[in-house]
């Protein structure tokens, strides 16, 4: 967890001593939250469904990066075969399937109302499976456009807090028609606007 009520800010992780995969995943996840927080006007605001999906995808991206560059770090000298363990760990994460549940919605893409999206928002930490497809989409996108990930640090500027959505049209326009952001926008559910 990112502990931001202390100075300096701390990152706490919980992992087995020999599970470097857990350390890489958790540390990169919290560092992603920290980087996003740094750019925010309201440092405590988090659009959970969006930010958690980004941070989870970034963690998988980081694991993949480590698997490809394992021999370049000192841990690679200690255990050169661990790169294969990281690849297997990544494969296990991206192949996860959502369980059958009684949830009012079964995935982020299924959301059609602010109430639906509110359910995903409120359960972003304890029902991560609601966002597996979107997380995997971002992971694939990060692998193909690693230099564009930094654009996501500015998401708070485009949030409509009332509807828990992001004004991707304005964001994409501000970034000169970014194809990367167009692909990111695909994870946002199509919330129906109710007419009065």
Q: What are phi and psi of 11, to 5 degrees?
A: -120, 125
Q: Where are the domains of the chain?
A: 2-185
Q: Does residue 18 sit in helix, strand or coil?
A: coil
pTM, rounded to two decimals: 0.91
Tens digit of each residue's pLDDT, the chain (196 residues) = 666 666 777 767 776 666 889 889 998 999 999 899 888 999 889 999 999 999 999 999 999 999 999 999 888 888 889 999 999 999 999 999 999 999 999 999 999 999 999 999 999 999 999 999 999 999 999 999 999 999 999 999 999 999 999 999 999 999 999 999 999 999 999 998 554 3
Dmax of the chain from CA atoms?
65
């Amino acid at each position: 967890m990112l502990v931001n009520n202390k100075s300096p800010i701390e990152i706490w992780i919980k992992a087995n001593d020999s599970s470097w995969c857990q350390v890489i995943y958790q540390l990169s996840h919290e560092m992603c939250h920290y980087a996003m927080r740094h750019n925010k006007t309201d440092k405590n605001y988090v659009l959970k469904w969006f930010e958690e999906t980004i941070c989870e995808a970034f963690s998988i991206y980081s694991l993949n990066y480590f698997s490809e560059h394992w021999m370049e770090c000192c841990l690679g000298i200690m255990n050169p075969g661990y790169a294969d363990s990281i690849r297997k760990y990544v494969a296990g994460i991206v192949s996860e399937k959502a369980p059958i549940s009684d949830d009012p919605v079964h995935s982020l893409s299924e959301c059609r109302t602010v109430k639906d999206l509110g359910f995903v928002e409120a359960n972003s930490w304890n029902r991560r499976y609601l966002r597996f497809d979107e997380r995997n989409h971002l992971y694939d996108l990060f692998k193909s456009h690693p230099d564009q990930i930094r654009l996501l640090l500015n998401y708070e500027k485009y949030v409509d807090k009332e509807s828990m959505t992001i004004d991707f049209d304005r964001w994409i326009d501000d970034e000169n028609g970014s194809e990367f952001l167009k692909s990111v926008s695909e994870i946002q559910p199509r919330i129906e606007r109710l007419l009065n």
